[in-house]
Structure 1
Amino acid sequence: MRAYLTVWRLPSAPVLLLSGFAGRLPSAMVPLALLLMVQQQTGSYAVAGLASATLGIASAVMAPVLGRLADRRGPRTILLAQAAAYPLLLALLVAVVLGGAPTLAVIAASGLAGTATPLVSGTVRALWSRVDVRVRPTAFALDATATELVFVVGPSLVAVLAVLATPALALGLAAALGVGGALGIATSRTTRAYVPVAGPRSGLFSTVLSPGMPRLLLSGSALMLGFGALEVAIPAFADETGSPGMSGVLLAVWSLGSVVGGLWFGARVLSISLPRQYRLLLLGVTIGLAPLAWISSPWALGVLLFLGGTAIAPTLTVQNTLVGAMAPEHATTEAFTWLSTIAVGASAIGAAVGGGLIEGPFGVSGSLALAAAGAAGAVAITLVPGRRRDVPARGPRQPIAA
């Protein structure tokens, strides 16, 4: 607990944690709320899924571009601009959908809203990478734990509002949370004191190709592909076993295990090198996912999801720490946005392939096996030799400004 208090007492840390949590909630709320709203309005899951996917893809593609701008000019202007544009474009999206506009207009409006998604996650992680190296792992652990909570709280809020009112209200709440989070971070002392690090002009993929980054991003992609398959398999498993109402509970239990594991891990001080920690934690995730394909009871699945989930937030904590250490100092925000972008894409692919396996002869077990295979692939990728970047125990980055 003392480690967490140390982080909490850092200048602007409460703002980064609380505003970062609020600003990330739209990423877990808007796709689901949009899916429900479009399906209710059009009666088509195909159109609804296309609109939700377009929003996610637009956000993922735009993030590295905005991350590069944030590294060069500071994130404050970008966050303020997005705080102004985001609610307007979400309002336009709601108007287009509820107004019965053609499918093409719905897709276009979804894409526009996605491009304005506040650059909260990449900014917060980039700022955490500037804290004292002694507390940086704990800060990233808190960040990873908060991210896991986002995907528990966000869908729950959408579900409640969709039942009691309308999915459009959930989009309105998401807009307010996104604006609040972006403004909180943009106006914090840390962001106002942010000084960009000068660096050479470089190509579009130069940050991705920095020493160590390709393997890290590829392993993260394999892991997220597995998670995407699992997120589809869990509701299908609950439905197949005659307990469709358990799907939300099982997903929440999985995330709760990650939260518990993240809080435990963040308070530990380990002497093992970060790459080795990452490899061992990925192995732990793989071991946790391996038996799921042979489970037939939702209660047994819930227990295993909780236990296996305890390795997820620690894995993401070390992953973020490695990105902060490997990325060029003048491109930290961009590096974190690339991590998010690749994770979104890989998760979407995993969900699509997992859904195909569920509909095919392999059934739900096939999708659960794919989840374990993705994690195992991530472990294998970390074993591939590659260029390394030596990172000192205490890097040249400055602590968060007072």
Structure 2
Amino acid sequence: MSHSASLADYRAALTTPGARGPVLASLLARLPVAMVGLSLLLYVEKVTGSFAAAGVVAAGALVGVAVGSVAQGRLYDRFGPTRPLTLTIAVFALVVAVEVTAIELRAPVPLLVVLAALTGLTEPMVSPASRAMWSRLLPPGRARHAAYAYEAISMEVFFILGPGLAGVLMAAPWPGTSLVVAASLMALGGLGFARTATVRAWRPERHERPQGRLLGPLTNPGMRTLAVAALGFGVTIGFVEVAVPAAARNAGHPTAGGLLLSLWSLSSVLFGVLYGMRPWPRPMHLRLPALLAGFSLLLLLPAVPSTLFGLALALLAVGVLITPQSTAHSATIEQVAPPSMAAEAFGWVVTSVTLGLAVGQSLSGQLVEAYGPAEAFLAAAGSGLVLALVVWLFRHTIRRSAQATEESSASRDELSLAAH
């Protein structure tokens, strides 16, 4: 299957009845998605003076997100998003308050890591519900694929605005301002999304409920290959998210780190729209390893510059392959996971990305402290290439899953025609 989307397809998806309320609320809920971890990292570094400690704490939050995204996705598939989101947001607000208090009291790093993990675990996951919503609002076709592309592109917009806003707020007199603002926006947006009529009407049918298997959609080999691709995406970005602020600090401009990270998201959005019109390679089983390998090779560029201007140009170049990967991950879910597990399947993708981010940030913090940012960029490129090779070796699992999905869809169409 090859998927492309025109501007008319995007318009059709976003104007479909029932979409406006959840789309607007999810914008507010997902704006801080790149702020929470980065704000926590910069906050802890500001208080402790150590990027190594900050990287471990931020990694703890990402591990929590990895677990929470799957658990919340499974609850959405089973009960609908409204009740799980409302309860999660209440607990999230309490945990963030405790985390801020612990940082201010300069609690031991292990305690900060545990609290960060709880913060990530309770972080309200609007993205899996938002992504799964489109399969309920739109029939299979170009408009639905445009909706999935919109989800990926909008996330990149948040990755533009989030780090930049975090960097600006870090200049406030109190270094915890950015984290508190990010958590507040996420909670308010999540509540708004959960209370829209479209989301409140989400009532899974009996046959839609998961089968109770621990790994759910991950039992499909194609889904596991997709998870490896998402893991590689997260690992490479995790390295960079620590290396860039460290490079800015070494250059004497510590507040520029967030703004620099926004640059690669800028080029990602611009190129992502164009790429969505003519994606290449066309087959998804080839696209996943090709995009990850290309992205990893581009990460060699930031290791070269000795100035922040050169680093900015390098990040602009690297960014062109971010949104294409996110869009490919989202589109592949339709080929490797049953519709009844759409939210949980996207949760596994989020889990893979966040686990990768945790590994990348933790290792990058150690490399930055011991050697410097350049070595972290090189490690990012090498790690991504290794995981791209793994995805390529198991590409047949994606192809087989796609073929099985097409055959199943054809069978359902034949049964439907026979019934009429």
Normalised to the residue count of structure 1, the TM-score between the two structures is 0.85
Cα 1:278–1:238 change in 2 (3 A) is same
Correspondence for 2:34:
28
Tell whether the 8 Å contact from 1:136 to 1:321 is kept in structure 2 after alignment. Answer: no
Tell whether the 8 Å contact from 1:281 to 1:314 is kept in structure 2 after alignment. Answer: yes
Matches within 5 A, 1:84-163: 84-98=90-104, 109-130=115-136, 131-132=138-139, 133-163=141-171
Tell whether the 8 Å contact from 2:243 to 2:376 is kept in structure 1 after alignment. Answer: yes
Normalised to the residue count of structure 2, the TM-score between the two structures is 0.81
Correspondence for 2:374:
365
The one-character-per-residue Cα deviations of 1:93-133 (angstroms, maximum 9, x if unpaired) are 33454467676765554444333211211111222344333
The one-character-per-residue Cα deviations of 1:252-306 (angstroms, maximum 9, x if unpaired) are 2111111111222334478923323334433432443344434445434332321
Correspondence for 1:289:
299
- Distance, in Å, in 2 between the alignment partners of 1:254 and 1:338 is 25
- Distance, in Å, in 1 between the alignment partners of 2:47 and 2:374 is 34
Correspondence for 2:416:
none
- Give the 3-state SS of the residue equivalent to 1:392 in structure 2: helix
1:272 aligns with 2:282: yes
Tell whether the 8 Å contact from 2:295 to 2:318 is kept in structure 1 after alignment. Answer: yes
Correspondence for 2:317:
307
Correspondence for 2:77:
71
Cα 1:286–1:218 change in 2 (3 A) is same
Gaps of 5+ in 1: 398-402
- Distance, in Å, in 1 between the alignment partners of 2:247 and 2:84 is 42
The one-character-per-residue Cα deviations of 1:329-350 (angstroms, maximum 9, x if unpaired) are 2221111111111211112212
Correspondence for 2:384:
375
- Distance, in Å, in 2 between the alignment partners of 1:38 and 1:237 is 17
Correspondence for 1:400:
none
Which region of structure 1 is more displaced relative to structure 2, 17-26 or 336-345?
A: 17-26
- Distance, in Å, in 2 between the alignment partners of 1:316 and 1:50 is 25
Tell whether the 8 Å contact from 2:157 to 2:269 is kept in structure 1 after alignment. Answer: yes
1:176 aligns with 2:190: no
Cα 1:161–1:299 change in 2 (3 A) is closer
Cα 1:269–1:59 change in 2 (3 A) is closer
User: What amino acid sits opposite 2:169 in the alignment?
Assistant: L
- Distance, in Å, in 2 between the alignment partners of 1:183 and 1:95 is 24
User: What amino acid sits opposite 1:379 in the alignment?
Assistant: A
- Distance, in Å, in 2 between the alignment partners of 1:249 and 1:267 is 29
The one-character-per-residue Cα deviations of 1:112-169 (angstroms, maximum 9, x if unpaired) are 4333211211111222344333222221222112212222322332332332342443
- Distance, in Å, in 2 between the alignment partners of 1:257 and 1:146 is 13
Post-superposition shift, 1:213?
A: 1.0
Structure number having the greater helix percentage: 2
User: What amino acid sits opposite 1:318 in the alignment?
Assistant: A
Which region of structure 1 is more displaced relative to structure 2, 266-275 or 189-198?
A: 266-275
- Distance, in Å, in 2 between the alignment partners of 1:34 and 1:372 is 25
Cα 1:109–1:359 change in 2 (3 A) is closer
- Distance, in Å, in 2 between the alignment partners of 1:229 and 1:281 is 18
Tell whether the 8 Å contact from 1:129 to 1:321 is kept in structure 2 after alignment. Answer: no
- Distance, in Å, in 2 between the alignment partners of 1:13 and 1:165 is 40
- Distance, in Å, in 1 between the alignment partners of 2:250 and 2:407 is 50
- Say what the alpha-carbon RMSD is for the aligned residues: 3.2
Matches within 5 A, 1:325-344: 325-344=335-354
What percent of counterpart residues are identical?
A: 32
Correspondence for 1:217:
227
Gaps of 5+ in 2: 1-6, 414-420
